Each structure stands twice: as C-alpha cells, then as structure tokens.
Amino acid sequence: MKKILREHIEKLIPLTDDEFSFVLSHFSAEQYDKNDFIFRKGEKVKNCYFIISGLLKLVYDDKDGKQHIVSFALEDWWESDFSAYFSEANTKMSLQSIEDSITFSLSLKNYHKLSAEFPKMQRFFLNKSNTGHIASQHRILSFLTSNARERYDQLIKQYPLLVQRVPKTLLASYLGVSRETLSRLSH
C-alpha cells in the first residue's frame, strides 16, 4: 500500500526514503466496504483521498432526487469535493464507494503543511491539479461536441476497464443521458 503511494508520487517526483517517510506521515489509511459513504452531501470534508484500490463515485443529488455522477475515482486517482475541501465549507456532493476500497486520506491542514514544508510535494500537487483541470476540460468538450452515442464511445475508448466494472445505470448518470437511452445505443 505504501509502495503504491510512493510509486504514484515518484512517477512525477523522485523521493529519498526519508522524504517519503515524511510525506507518508501526513496521510492515513482508510478502508471502505462497497456502498459505504466516504462523506455525504452537507457534511464537512476533512480530507482528500488517494485511491489505492477500489472505485468511488462523486455524486451530486439534484432537487428532484436524481443522482448525477460528477466523477469516478479509480486506483491511482485523487478525489474529494474539492470546492468544499479547500474552502472548508459544507459539501454539495457525496463520495461513495462502488467497490470495496482502500484510500490514503490527506487533511487540508496536512496538505498545506506538506506544500509549505516540502516544495517538491507542492510541485506534485500542482501537476496533479493541472492534469485534473485538463481532464475536466476534455469532458466539457465532449458535452459540447458530441451526442450521447459519441460520448459513450469516447468513454469506452478512454476508460475501457471502468466501463466493464460499472453498471450501465451509473455510466448513464456520468454521461448525462437516461439509462434507457444508453441501453438503446448498443444497436
């Protein structure tokens, strides 16, 4: 588990053993069963989460009670309600596990501490944030340019393994189409 985190960071930033120990001391491991909530809408989020194994969904519940999946979080991914996390406000979304999952969590305090005391790690976070921003823009572009079928095809192409692990009902909710429409796209 530690090894996974270390290798993830070292894809971008080489670390000595001591440096990694220092970094690691800011995280704490957590384990969730399938369907557990990491946090619920309306609560505070103390942490952001690095996923060691498993699969999470970041969900927004609209006024009609419909669920919208803002994001899936797979192994090697970071997730939180970042808006609430950074501003220490109440969450507008919930984070729930789709499979049994293991995470490393990082409190906002420790995030700032790590960033301030260890610029290498700040560089790592900057890189991650940039990547996340670019990924989100890519998804926006998909909404702008593509219809339901095309968005589904793009998803399959981009995350083939995810598509196999997740029920189509959830994929539909991520793609912004009804499950019935998604079901009819296969023909």
- 16 burial level (CB within 10 Å; 0-12, 13-18, 19+): exposed
- Please give the Cα distance from 119 to 89 (Å, whole number): 26
Considering only residues 147, 153, 158, 161, which one is a binding residue for DNA as defined by CB under 7 A?
Answer: 147
Per partner kind, with CB cut-offs from 5 to 8 A, the member of DNA, its own copies, none near residue 187 is DNA
Burial class (CB in 10 A: 0-12, 13-18, 19+), 100: middle
User: Can you give the length of the chain in residues?
Assistant: 187
**Least distance (Å) between residue 137 CB and DNA:** 20
Stretch that binds DNA, among 7-15, 82-90, 126-134, 161-169 (CB under 7 A): 161-169
Q: What angle do CA 120, 73, 113 make, to 5 degrees?
A: 30
Beta carbon of residue 33, minimum distance to its own copies (angstroms, whole number): 27
Closest CB 173 distance from DNA, rounded Å = 10
The entry of DNA, its own copies, none near residue 70 (CB within 5 to 8 angstroms by kind) is its own copies
Binding site for DNA (CB under 7 A): 147-149, 167-170, 176-184, 186-187
